[in-house]
Amino acid sequence: MFDDRRERDRRATFTRRAIVLFGAQLGVAGVLGVRLYKLQIVDQAQYRKLAEDNRINPETIAPERGEIFDRAGAPLAVNRPNYTLSFIREQAKDLEKAIADLRALASLSDREVQSLRRKLKRSAKFKPVLVKEDLDWDTFARLNANAPALPGALLDVGLVRTYPEADKLAHVIGYVGAVTSRDLKRHKGDDRLLRLPGARIGKTGVELAAEKTLRGEAGVRRVEINAGGREVAEIDRIEGDPGSDLTLTIDLALQRYAMKRIEKESAAVVVMDCITGDLLVLASGPAYDPNKFVFGISQRDWDDLRRDEYDPLRNKALAGEYPPGSTFKMITAIAALEAGKISPRTSFTCTGRMKFGDRYFHCWKRAGHGRVDMLRGVKNSCDVYFYEAALSAGIDKIAEVARKFGVGEAPKLEIPNVRDGLLPTRDWVRKTYKRGWNGGETLNVGIGQGALLMTPLQMAVMTARIANGAEQVQARIVKAINGVELERAPFEPLDVSKDAIDIVKAGMFAVSNEPGGTAFRSRIADPENALAGKTGTAQVRRIGKEERAAGVKKNADLPWRLRDHALFVAFAPVKTPRYAISVIVEHGGGGSKAAAPVARDVLMRALYGPQPPLEAYPVHLRREIAKAREEAEKAKATGADPVKIMGE
Amino acid sequence: MMRRGGFNEEVELSIGQKLLRFNWLLAALLAAAATVGFLMLYSVAGGTLEGRAERQIILFALGFGAMMLVAMIDIRFWRRLSVLFYIGALGMLVLTHFFGETGKGAQRWLDLRFMQIQPSEPMKIALVMALAAFYHWLEPERVSRPFWVAVALLIALVPAALVLQQPDLGTTMLLLAGAGVVMFLAGVSWWYFGGVFMLVGAGVWAVFASKGASWQILKDYQYRRIETFLDPSKDPLGAGYHITQSTIAIGSGGLDGKGLLRGSQTHLRFLPEAHTDFIFTTLAEEFGFRGGIGLLSLYMLIIFVATLTAIRIGNMFGRLLAGGVAATFFFFFAINVAMVTGLAPVVGVPLPLVSYGGTSMLTLMFAFGLLLSAQVHGDSAAER
């Protein structure tokens, strides 16, 4: 039948084509199978790794920064909780709403919102971006309570540096601040930690110099995360090493007193142990509050600090370079004796001035001192005597001896920016000015003027070595790390004759303890603890011929910037020297008036503690001090501000 | 009387006879595939049947019942209904075009108040039915005549065009592929298929050759999209993310897989849409190469049994319907697996019987019901 045949044909066609189709389908399925084989068998290892990388996120654990203490264990730089708010872009559905919510709840300022937007633009959307730090507890609690409604908000408690002594030790401790790209360049190799959000790094002071020790080693925790970046489980963790605690040589009580004592002045005080080299006081005033820098100082505060005439940002104790003036005369004396050209008994006649070449070199006392030997020369600080002494020693000998006392070279301390000062020599003149040494320069250097520059720290080191007499005592600032006392390398011998040291010490004793000595009024009356010192007055301006003829102007008549620097160096007790001190009061006038009383007061606190006995003060001061103390007691009882006790 | 479709044996089967003839093997294979789905949904949900797995079981049970019911109804009834079905589905597509709900950037859903349906799903079946009925009716001599080929193309292209502009590229491709298979099985000349392949090839060549030339066919961003399609690693955080994560998941499964509930890519949610389009990925991650090949084999077995069944059906409508259903089923899973393994672009085709989803499940079970009805009533007359 025709229809049947057609139907059979049609059915046959269908069957043929169905088989072809199934064959093709089998082929496609084969391709899929091969694809699975490639993915799952051939490239399995590669994909396993990718899956693990997806799943596991290594997170850096920030180690706790080492803390800093004074020699008795009082906290100087410590860590306190820091409540932070971060934001993960990816987790917020509606960015604008999220920002508006955060702004309202965390009371963000316009500037903070702008900075957040900037940071969001720069960083990957799954990375937390720091929104605000150091939230107060109320804000932090409010944010936490609202956390479920704030997708993307990440609340965390970290640690932040705080400086309980504020400005009392700012220049020594320094401060930490946010890591900048410059810091990253400077500290290569340990980016991981520095790139953590909210990371801090030492910017200056011990915080900078001992950064490696304080920072510690980062730990790693590997966490399982889901696609949203949320932590699911911790797989393992390798704890890092916390930073090491530092114990400084600083004596906090003494440091506080020194800072208070130079309040309102632009001044520096350095107290050093003559035997161990421990720096007990490194005071530079005025200072600043390092706490302001931890979260970034405001432009206004910064400008105030920058514009202050007293330069609070400079550490005058280590980085202030001054002509040492008469405080250098001990070196000249020792050099002259070491050169063997004069003996302590050799005397010169001071007529108030001395002619050298075609120039007159003046003594500070116009009338002159008459016949002056070494003891009197030191005691009265006679310039003409030291012109002669310097000439007999020669600049080379002076430089050689000066180096033994630490002049011209920065002591190695765990503080950045300790300056070298300047010790002028023939080589230096040749290199700098391309000329030969000029004889007159020897005279100027002999009285601590000319190109000679020293830092207060160097003056303290110089005095400590004179007091010690035997060794080149080295200054140090770090006493112990993690409570383990650092071992001191033995000091090199001073290599200066004992006779020379003794006569210089005797001169310094006379300065402070004999009537007519330049610092007699600032003596310690207790013979057991008597101090021996040397005043200095460093000229800041040049005195012209006309002015000298008309009479040198008094400091009080000059603007502050042009007044002389007041200097004083001393050690005590004289019999068994323990403490060396240097004081500079910038533009303070004469050393005996402005600097010596500060040194005496600080030394008294070092020797006797906070309340030195009245008997230790010179008689003329006792009544005044007793009265001041009485008033202070009264003020304390009534709760008013205690009156400052200063002496003289 | 004209007999065009098949043998005219007026036989009425009783329910018992129908159940006896029923292809239980195929039903069991379908149930096995669905069970794999339950297991994977159980895993994706984090080890609980609650929620999706539970609902999927209920849906499958409903679907299975519907399939039995459909299979018991005479195939002639379904043939008569074909045109109505087609027109109904087409009407819904048009309605969707005007009143449809928008979801994920495409207008696919029609809200019927008591339920939401995706008219493109029933259209997959309706189109196969309509074409099968068409060729059942058409004299064999005319099958390859250009006019009648054009009519068949029109039947296919109208719904395809409607779905394409939703836009739903995956379903469009499935519709066209299903239609193409029915036409192929109906005996349309090889030349037409050759011609279509040539045309498509030339089109693709033109698109790529024109890039950068003065007669550039597509916009630049469209080329970028195509490039991401072809090489997802070029945009690992954007469009290529899904494919990258999916291949990582599959590859990391290895030979034996990570074990049930142990797929890190799935459970840490690196894998998107693990319960729908990417459920094969979870299977391959947790049961490895063995699991993946196992499911592929199961699918091919279903296709094999369905094809064998189709060949043995005594009337044109039944044969074409069965062949079309089997082919549609094949396209579903082949495109899905190709997609999740990175061989094909992400077009949003679920894994049949396994992916979570009501419309797709019910449509599929209905389709198999039709296939089984054709099989049960395979020898019955199919008068015009």
- Same domain, residue pair A224 and A302: no
Chain A residue with Cα closest to B272: A227
A424: CB partners within 8 A, 6+ apart: A395, A399, A441, A445, A450, A451, A452
Structural domain ending residue among the three candidates A191, A226, A248: A248
Whether the CB of A3 is below 8 Å from some CB of chain B: the reply is yes
For A422-431, how does the pLDDT look when each residue is reduced to its tens digit (9 = 90+)? 999 999 999 9
- Same domain, residue pair A375 and A396: yes
Q: Are A447 and A332 in contact (CB under 8 A)?
A: yes
Interchain pair A15, B311: CB under 8 A: yes
- Same domain, residue pair A276 and A161: no
Cβ-based contacts of B264 with chain A (< 8 Å): 51-52, 54-55, 224
Strands, E assignment, A14-98: 56-61, 68-69, 75-88
- Same domain, residue pair A240 and A256: no
Average pLDDT (B201-219) is 83
Round to whole Å and give the CA distance between B280 and B43: 12
The alpha carbon of residue B356 and the mean position of all alpha carbons in its chain are separated, in whole angstroms, by 14
Which of A303-317, B231-245, B319-333 has the lowest average pLDDT?
A: B231-245
Interchain pair B319, A225: CB under 8 A: no
Q: Are A582 and A459 in contact (CB under 8 A)?
A: yes
- Give the bridge partners for A282, in sequence order: A270
Note the pTM of the prediction, 2 decimals.
0.68
- Same domain, residue pair A376 and A475: yes
pLDDT over threshold 60, residue B8: no
Average pLDDT (B8-13) is 61
Q: Is A9 inside a domain boundary?
A: no
DSSP secondary structure letter of residue A422: B
Average pLDDT (B290-308) is 96
- Same domain, residue pair A305 and A403: yes
Structural domain ending residue among the three candidates A248, A269, A290: A248
Whether the CB of A51 is below 8 Å from some CB of chain B: the reply is yes
Q: Is A375 inside a domain boundary?
A: yes
Q: Is A190 inside a domain boundary?
A: yes
Round to whole Å and give the CA distance between A496 and A406: 13
Cβ-based contacts of A226 with chain B (< 8 Å): 268-270
pLDDT over threshold 50, residue B184: yes
Cβ-based contacts of B323 with chain A (< 8 Å): 14, 18, 21
Confidence of residue B37 (pLDDT cuts 50, 70, 90): very high
What pLDDT, on the 0 to 100 scale, is given for residue A160? 85
- Same domain, residue pair A374 and A314: yes
What pLDDT, on the 0 to 100 scale, is given for residue A224? 83
Of A512 and B358, more confident: A512
pLDDT over threshold 70, residue A648: no
Of A54 and B74, more confident: B74
For A403-423, how does the pLDDT look when each residue is reduced to its tens digit (9 = 90+)? 999 999 999 998 988 999 999
CA A291 to chain B, closest CA, distance in angstroms equals 42
Confidence of residue A185 (pLDDT cuts 50, 70, 90): confident
Number of domains chain A contains? 3
Cβ-based contacts of B185 with chain A (< 8 Å): 14, 17-18, 21
- Same domain, residue pair A240 and A318: no
Cβ-based contacts of A33 with chain B (< 8 Å): 293, 296
pLDDT over threshold 90, residue A636: no
Confidence of residue A638 (pLDDT cuts 50, 70, 90): confident
Whether the CB of A48 is below 8 Å from some CB of chain B: the reply is yes
CA B252 to chain A, closest CA, distance in angstroms equals 4
For A75-103, how does the pLDDT look when each residue is reduced to its tens digit (9 = 90+)? 999 998 888 888 888 778 888 888 888 88
Whole-complex ipTM: 0.92
What pLDDT, on the 0 to 100 scale, is given for residue B103? 61
Q: Is A18 inside a domain boundary?
A: no
| Of residues A59, A63, A418, the one with CA closest to residue A212 | A63
Interchain pair A227, B253: CB under 8 A: no
- Same domain, residue pair A221 and A286: no
pLDDT over threshold 90, residue A482: yes
CA A93 to chain B, closest CA, distance in angstroms equals 16
Q: Is A204 inside a domain boundary?
A: yes
CB atoms within 10 A of CB B266: 26
Structural domain ending residue among the three candidates A217, A248, A279: A248
Give percent of chain A above pLDDT 90: 52
Confidence of residue B105 (pLDDT cuts 50, 70, 90): low
CA B348 to chain A, closest CA, distance in angstroms equals 18
**Residue by residue, what is the 3-state secondary structure of chain B?**
CCCCCECCCCCCCCHHHHHHHCCHHHHHHHHHHHHHHHHHHHHHCCCCCCCHHHHHHHHHHHHHHHHHHHHHCCHHHHHHHHHHHHHHHHHHHHHHHHHCEEECCEEEEEECCCCEECCHHHHHHHHHHHHHHHHHHCCHHHCCCHHHHHHHHHHHHHHHHHHHCCCCHHHHHHHHHHHHHHHHHHCCCHHHHHHHHHHHHHHHHHHHHCCCCCCCCCCHHHHHHHHHHHCHHHCCCCCCHHHHHHHHHHHHHCCCCCCCCCCHHHHCCCCCCCCCCCHHHHHHHHHHHHHHHHHHHHHHHHHHHHHHHHHCCCEHHHHHHHHHHHHHHHHHHHHHHHHHCCCCCCCCCCCCCCCCCHHHHHHHHHHHHHHHHHHHCCCCCCCC
CATH number of the domain at A199, please.
Answer: 3.90.1310.10
Enzyme catalytic residues of A: 326
Helix, strand or coil for residue A637?
A: helix
What pLDDT, on the 0 to 100 scale, is given for residue A222? 84
What pLDDT, on the 0 to 100 scale, is given for residue A429? 92
- Same domain, residue pair A262 and A153: no
Average pLDDT (B62-91) is 93
Whether the CB of A343 is below 8 Å from some CB of chain B: the reply is no
pLDDT over threshold 80, residue B176: yes
What pLDDT, on the 0 to 100 scale, is given for residue A190? 62
Confidence of residue B198 (pLDDT cuts 50, 70, 90): very high
Which of A562-576, A593-607, B218-232, B356-370 has the lowest average pLDDT?
A: B218-232
Average pLDDT (A96-115) is 87
Q: Is A20 inside a domain boundary?
A: no
For A141-155, how does the pLDDT look when each residue is reduced to its tens digit (9 = 90+)? 888 888 888 888 888
- Same domain, residue pair A465 and A589: yes
Which of A99-108, A268-277, A548-557, B60-69 has the lowest average pLDDT?
A: A548-557
Helix, strand or coil for residue A572?
A: strand
Of A180 and A454, more confident: A454
CA A155 to chain B, closest CA, distance in angstroms equals 23
Interchain pair B343, A35: CB under 8 A: yes
Residue carrying the six token digits 């070196």: A331
Range of the domain at A79: 58-248
CATH number of the domain at A317, please.
Answer: 3.40.710.10
Interchain pair B343, A37: CB under 8 A: no
Q: Is A13 inside a domain boundary?
A: no
Confidence of residue A490 (pLDDT cuts 50, 70, 90): very high
pLDDT over threshold 70, residue A238: yes
Give percent of chain A above pLDDT 70: 97
pLDDT over threshold 70, residue A645: no
Q: Is A225 inside a domain boundary?
A: yes
B129: CB partners within 8 A, 6+ apart: B78, B79, B81, B82, B85, B86, B321, B324, B370
Round to whole Å and give the CA distance between A586 and A356: 31
- Same domain, residue pair A266 and A244: no
Which of A459-473, A591-605, A608-622, B225-239 has the lowest average pLDDT?
A: B225-239
Give percent of chain B above pLDDT 90: 53
Domain boundaries, chain B: 15-186+232-376
